[in-house]
């Protein structure tokens, strides 16, 4: 099975689960935001190729969180959507503190996991700082933009507020995360994961994949009215 097919199926799975969670109420949407936030901070550590582009593994999960906050904004209002943003941020914060505390324990002679945990989570503070910063800024902008477009269009054109807010927010998110979370810029007090000359290629590749997810989630926004209790 090709990477492209796996990515498509995985994205559709996440978007479908998002609708099912919404069917049971906003509490389940909040729970799913926390789950997606936790998973995407692990999945982002893996890199692979999609459509000839080098991308990270968290894109489908990250794109799906925008569907969740848009659904909350559409059906419950912006205040509930901002709660979801806060939940996602706190989940990431707890994750990074917990993983670093785990690494700080001195392993005994029976331990076999420490080298593997170090390989995974020793770069987590850098990645998660960039991810948390990007998440809070881009998701907050998304909620604001979604409501602003809704007001300007008098609640018409669902596709416009869904795609318009998400596409701009995803661009903001990509620029922040790629620069702060991944790239070895001299002005950052972190060790970079990718060299500075790869910044634009990685950023644009990541954004293009997020655009695909954003376009895929549009039918799910319309379906949310069928799933609403």
Residue range 36-88, pLDDT digits in tens: 999 988 888 788 888 888 787 888 898 899 999 999 999 999 999 999 999 99
pLDDT higher at 217 or 130: 217
Percent of the chain with pLDDT over 70: 95
Q: What DSSP assignment string belongs to the chain?
A: --HHHHHHHHHHHHHHHHHHHHHH-HHHHHHHHHHHHHHHHHHTT-EEEETTEEEETTHHHHHHHHHHHHHHHHHH-HHHHHHHHHHHHHHHHHHHHHHHHHHHSPP-TT--SHHHHHHHHTTHHHHHHHHHHHHHHHHHHHHHHHHHHHHHTTT--HHHHHHHHHHHHHHHHHHHIIIIIIB--TTSSS--SB-GGGHHHHHHHHHHHHHHHHHHTHHHHHHHHHH--
Q: What is the pLDDT of residue 225?
A: 93
User: Of 105-109, 134-138, 198-202, which range is least confident?
Assistant: 198-202
How many other CB atoms are there within 10 angstroms of residue 17's CB atom? Answer: 16
pLDDT higher at 193 or 67: 67
Terminal-residue alpha carbon distance, the chain: 37
Q: Give dist(CA 211, CA 219) in Å, integer.
A: 14
User: Of 11-20, 43-52, 104-113, 208-217, which range is least confident?
Assistant: 43-52
**pTM summary value:** 0.88
Check: CB of residue 177 under 8 Å from CB of residue 134.
yes
- pLDDT, average across residues 146-168: 93
Look at residue 229 and tell me whether its pLDDT is greater than 90: no
Q: Which architecture, in CATH terms, is 3-227? A: Orthogonal Bundle (1.10)
Q: Which residues contact 212 (CB under 8 A, 6 or more apart)?
A: 11
Look at residue 227 and tell me whether its pLDDT is greater than 80: yes
- pLDDT, average across residues 161-173: 93
Per residue in 156-165, pLDDT (tens digit) is 999 999 999 9
- pLDDT, average across residues 150-158: 93
Q: What is the pLDDT of residue 16?
A: 96
């Amino acid at each position: 099975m090709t990477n492209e097919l796996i990515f498509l199926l995985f994205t559709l799975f996440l978007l479908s689960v998002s609708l099912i969670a919404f069917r049971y109420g906003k509490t389940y949407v909040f729970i799913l935001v926390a789950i997606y936030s936790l998973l995407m901070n692990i999945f982002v550590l893996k890199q692979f190729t999609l459509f000839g582009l080098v991308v990270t593994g968290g894109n489908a999960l990250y794109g799906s969180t925008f569907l969740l906050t848009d659904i909350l904004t559409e059906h419950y209002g912006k205040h509930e959507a901002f709660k979801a943003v806060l939940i996602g941020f706190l989940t990431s914060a707890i994750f990074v503190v917990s993983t670093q505390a785990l690494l700080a324990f001195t392993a005994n002679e029976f331990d076999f996991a420490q080298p593997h945990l170090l390989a995974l989570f020793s770069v987590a503070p850098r990645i998660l700082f960039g991810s948390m910063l990007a998440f809070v800024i881009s998701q907050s902008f998304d909620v604001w933009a979604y409501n602003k477009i809704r007001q300007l269009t008098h609640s018409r054109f669902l596709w416009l507020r869904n795609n318009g807010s998400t596409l701009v927010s995803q661009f903001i998110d990509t620029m922040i995360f790629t620069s702060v979370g991944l790239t070895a810029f001299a002005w950052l007090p972190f060790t970079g994961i990718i060299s500075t000359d790869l910044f634009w290629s990685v950023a644009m590749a990541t954004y293009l994949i997020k655009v695909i997810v954003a376009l895929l989630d549009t039918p799910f926004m319309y379906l949310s009215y069928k799933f609403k209790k």
